[in-house]
Amino acid sequence: MVTTLPSDQLTDVPAEQVAAESARRRTIAVISHPDAGKSTLTEALALHAKALREAGHVHGKAGRAGVVTDWQDMEKQRGISISSAVLQLDHRDTVVNVVDTPGHADFSEDTYRALTAVDAVIMLIDAARGMEVQTRKLFGVCKQRGLPVVTVVNKWDRPGQEALALLDEVESVTGLRPTPVTWPVGIAGDFRGLLERSTGGYVKYTKAPGGATLAVEERMDAAGAEAAEGDAWRQAVDEHELLAATGADHDEEEFLGFRTTPVFFTAAVANTGVGQVLDALVDIAPSPRDQRDVAGEVHPVTSRFTAQVFKTQTGMNPAHRDRLAFARIHSGVFHRGMTVRDDRSGRPMVLKHVQTVFGSDRSTVDVAWPGDVIGLVNARHVNVGDTLSENGRTAYPPLPVFAPEHFRTVRPKDLGSGKQFRQGLRELDAEGVVRVLTSDSRGDGEPVLSAVGALQFDVVQYRMTHEFRSPVLFTELPFTTARIIEAKDAPLLRSHRGCEVVQNAEGRVFALFTDEWRVRSFERDNPDVKLEELVATSD
Separation in Å, CA 161 to CA 131, 158, 492: 12, 10, 57
537, 529 contact by CB (below 8 A): no
Angle subtended at Cα 309 by Cα 303 and Cα 314, rounded to the nearest 5 degrees: 145
95, 104 contact by CB (below 8 A): no
323, 335 contact by CB (below 8 A): no
Question: Using CA atoms, how far apart are residues 495 and 360, in angstroms rounded to an integer?
Answer: 48
Question: Using CA atoms, how far apart are residues 89 and 66, in angstroms rounded to an integer?
Answer: 19
Task: Give all strands (DSSP E) within 315-401, no chain letters.
Answer: 323-331, 334-335, 339-342, 348-350, 354-358, 361-364, 367-368, 373-377, 387-389
Q: How many CB atoms lie within 10 A of CB 211?
A: 23
Angle subtended at Cα 170 by Cα 279 and Cα 246, rounded to the nearest 5 degrees: 80
Beta bridge partners of 384: none
Q: Which string of DSSP letters, residue by residue, matches 233-256?
A: HHHHHHHHHHHHHTT-S--HHHHH
| Helices and strands (DSSP H and E) totals, the chain | 14, 31
Judge whether 102 is annotated as a binding position: yes
Question: Using CA atoms, how far apart are residues 282 and 150, in angstroms rounded to an integer?
Answer: 12
407, 515 contact by CB (below 8 A): no
Q: Name the nearest CA neighbour of 405 among 322, 291, 516.
A: 516
Judge whether 416 is annotated as a binding position: no
Q: How many CB atoms lie within 10 A of CB 148?
A: 23
Judge whether 101 is annotated as a binding position: yes
Question: Using CA atoms, how far apart are residues 429 and 502, in angstroms rounded to an integer?
Answer: 15
CB neighbours of 469 closer than 8 A, spacing ≥ 6? Answer: 417, 420
Question: Using CA atoms, how far apart are residues 465 and 233, in angstroms rounded to an integer?
Answer: 55
Question: How do beta strands 25-31 and 94-100 pair?
Answer: parallel
Instruction: Provide the annotated binding site.
Output: 100-104
Instruction: Provide the annotated binding site for GTP.
Output: 100-104
